[in-house]
Structure 1
Amino acid sequence: MKITGLKTFAVNAKMRTWVFVKIDTDQAGLYGWGEGSLEWKTRAVVGALKDFEAMLIGEDPRNIEHLYQKMYRQSFWALGVIGMSAISAIEQALWDIKGKVLSVPVFELLGGKVRDRVRMYTHLGGGDMKAVYETFSVEPLIELANNVINNGYTALKVVFVPYSKTIDGQNKVRRFADMFGKLREAVGQDIDIMVDFHGRTTPAMAIQYINTIEEFHPFFCEEPVRPENIDSIKLVTEKTKAPIATGERHVSIYQYKEIFEKNAVHVIQPDLCHCGGLWAAKKIAAMAEVYNMGVAPHNPLGPVANAVALHFALSTPNFLIQEDMLTDVPWRWDVVETEITSENGYWKVPTKPGLGIDINEKEAKKYPFKQEIIHSNSIRDDDNAILDW
């Protein structure tokens, strides 16, 4: 069995562009799908996927780890998020092929299921970028949160942390705490609320923000500071009582090493479309397990990424909860053919071989790539200085 080619599909989905890859083989009707969607780097990822094609032609697609090592190590230059997103997409497609060859769902190849359903959470506003990232008033915040709950979710994520300077005044801290308190009052004690800081703050500000909402018991506070400095993240963890999470912007197992060695957080968030794919994520999760850390994968991406995340969650003991973005565009399920379904905030166990999905290429081509909105262009201080979004 040999790989004969690679095709890419860039599908504009309003808030993001989904980057799908199809790996073809010399066996009639046998192919695999993967996803490497990366915000505002679509053309770069598509180019990287085509660059890797020459390494794959003629290889046996069942030798997944071998091909991962070939792409990673023989690239020579250290791979950043663009190269790792391309590898992740290819690696996922290889698992899809292997599951089809063996006539089993992918999670059976990853150790089998350790749970019977997978808990999900989502963001406010679905595919409306401003609703997700700029809901800074109480009334729309509560309305959007209730919409999420009415769709069956028992957990949701909010991103109303103020855009912050190195040090900001008490007004922002008080306004943030007031919004969280009113949200908690509105949704009750049975709904878990995660706060995505989106790397907008420094340790000095993150500690103040988190300590003011301690009484409302956030499920976790995500990426309180930019991810490059692990000591800064660890400082926030040490000075606050709420669980702290990070990891969506770390790629490869090597970038997680310092997080584990320093016990820097309580929850890690690898993105299976950026960290190297399913097997790399399983390695990261295994390291996290040694340090008693939970795993809550990052995934606001497309339908192939959802399928991949489901197989990971079903087979990973220290999995915690799964992010999704299922309401970004109304035609999401026209592009993908799948048996994967959800009920009351949980994904059900799939039974089809491989990842259990197929892309309707005709439908996908109805939404060709176009330049995404660069949301971060508008994130400025009152003196026009650039802030983290």
Structure 2
Amino acid sequence: MKTIAVIGAGFAGLSAAYDLACAGHKVTVYEAAPQVGGLAAGFQAEGWDWSLEKFYHHIFGSDKALLDFIKEIRADDLLFFNSPVSGQWDAQRGSIEIGGIIPLLTYPHLSVFNRLRNATGGAWLKFLAIIDRWQHLEQTTAERYIQKLMGKPAYEAMWKPVLEGKFGPYTPEVNAAWFWARIASRTFKLGYFRGGFQALGERMAEAVRQKGGTIRLNSPVQELRKIEQGWLVISNDQAIYDQVLSTTSPGLLKRMTPDLPTSYTAKLDQLKSIGAVVLTVALKQSLTNGMYWMNMDKKHFPFLALVEHTQMIDRRHYGGQHLVYLGDYLEPSHEYFQLSKEELLERFIPSLIKVNPQFKPDWVEGVWLHREAYAQPIVPVNHSQSIPALKTPLEDLWWASMSQVYPWDRGTNFAVEIGRRAAKEMLSK
């Protein structure tokens, strides 16, 4: 039996801790926040029966790693699927549905030929997933590949606003493998959990505890130090472990592990990412009148995504309120990381009126603001050559993060996958 510290009680940390504890090791999970869940953690306002994610979440029917794990810990009773309507904002029509084959084939701003070319391109990307032939895509950029595969009209109308909205100045760097993974791994049906993702996180934590693991909340780790007896973990107190798995951001791993060699920290420094800012508003009335998710054009709107959560999940679970996310991916230096929720709401209100001319500020019954500096990795051409291995150069120290799930995009499914992969490596040592 080994003593093992896991840093971070997100989905990667909890799934790794579960497997390590199942193997008979003594596992302690350190979490800086007062709750488990990481980026999938939720909050609960007065009058709500369910928690709501700080950052909008759902899963896909293809999320095998997560689906297998929740079945293993007997949490599949929490899961259900819906088929909400998703689309993009259109200046003439207000919104255009794009979440399905028929909507794509009837997309109004493309000719019949370009609609077919766009749909055929999507089918080709799905086929590449079936035969596992994506590696060549990382050798070119997404914007170049999409125009070649689906045509410039489709790129300009549908994909360019999404890429530029999400990656901003990094758009020309993003490789085509990221785009492939986004198409290949997604389904039109979306899954959610009774009680929210927080309920699933708590069930995962309970599974860890049942296997003998310990979870320490409100316990940020200040330093990881290699000593003769093992690894000294300095948090609210100090303890020595045989092995350590960190599931933190690359910047935090570097700061709290001063013994990492410069050759390795140089790789960490090369991993680019951007942050997320999400303003959640509770409204008296529906804003979108049927649309769950809308991609917004940031040339005309001050946010990238408008997600009316209660178009997918019954609002009775939230005291009858209509819940809307207004989210964006931004550099941590952006002013949105400094503005208060009241200041940000004031910036956003004109856009809410544009979406629904009947909207009035007195519809707003609650406002919550959540920010995270490390939310979306940037994946340039030939990114696979830059990803650090899960095993660090230091003995008995591993690192598993969203920066390493490539070519897949960050999300709870791939957090579970990389957490369990890291645990497997640790157990094989």
TM-score range, shorter chain: under 0.3
TM (norm. structure 2) is: 0.25
Q: Which structure's residues are more often strand, by fraction?
A: 2
Higher RCO (CA 8 Å, separation ≥ 6 residues): 2
Q: Choose 1 or 2 for highest CA Rg.
A: 2
